[in-house]
Amino acid sequence: MSFKKVGIIGAGQMGNGIAQVAASTGLPVQVMDVSDESLKKGLATVEKSLGRLLKKEKITQDQKEKTLKLIEWSTSLESLKSCDIVIEAATENLELKLQIIRNLNEVLDESAILCSNTSSISITKMASVYKKPENFAGMHFMNPVPIMVLVEGIKGLQTSDQNFARVKLFAEDLGKTFVVSEDRPGFIVNRILMPMINEAAYTVMEGICTVEDADAAMKLGTNQPMGPLTLADFIGLDTCLAIMNVLYDGMGDSKYRPCPLLAKYVEAG
């Protein structure tokens, strides 16, 4: 293994998924979140996910128990002190992420690698507030993490080649396929995916078709496993809107303008 202990910030859907995958390879994992409630939900999700794998006979009872024992849960940032790689998987909000990174400057060892699971925010911008920007990289896992094999790797302007190679090796140790993206808004997946989802929202807003017909057309016409609007619900409309705003602001191109109907649905909750 390329690292000895993995730290994860955020016990939500992405964070607990990364924790499960890392622990299932035999790595000790420390998950940190701001509330006990979030941690309990994260643990329950991992237990449920492992239970499904056990039922399908993809793991044994012993493997399930070992995986759970390797994950520790804490509300203290100090709990990450002994980790040699930390993955930030907090909400897709730049200011929140920057504050977390600033706080980690006081906690992590000089040699620790810090990665962000951001799906669209500039790695270079986040690395600029880390004490060792050459140790900072993007590591964008796909949801759900235990099932999806892709990880997008993103180098910031100052990320060292040596550290980026270690991040790639770590992803491969987790059984993931690693693709490399330049540090541009949306990277690869969301640069392609989000405009499609946004355009699907426009077809509904303009009365071209219903939600159901938009999804059926793309499923049956392009052999996608689910329609773009069903996928948007699965991702979260707020996340889709946030990524479209990053693309629009970052590119300055009207083709990335978020669909007003998408924005309205997010406002409506």
pLDDT 10s digits, 151-193:
999 999 999 999 999 999 999 999 999 999 999 999 999 999 9
The pLDDT value recorded for residue 1 is 67
The residue count of the chain comes to 269
Percent of the chain with pLDDT over 90: 96
Distance in angstroms (rounded) separating the CA atoms of residues 189 and 140: 10
The residues facing 139 across adjacent strands are 153
Catalogue the active-site residues.
119, 140, 152, 190
Q: Which two tokens stand for residue 158?
A: 């100052």
- 9-26 residue pLDDT tens: 999 999 999 999 999 999
- Percent of the chain residues topping a pLDDT of 70: 100
Global pTM reads 0.92
Which residue ranges of the chain lie beneath pLDDT 70?
1
Contact between residue 32 and residue 74 where contact means Cβ atoms under 8 Å apart? yes
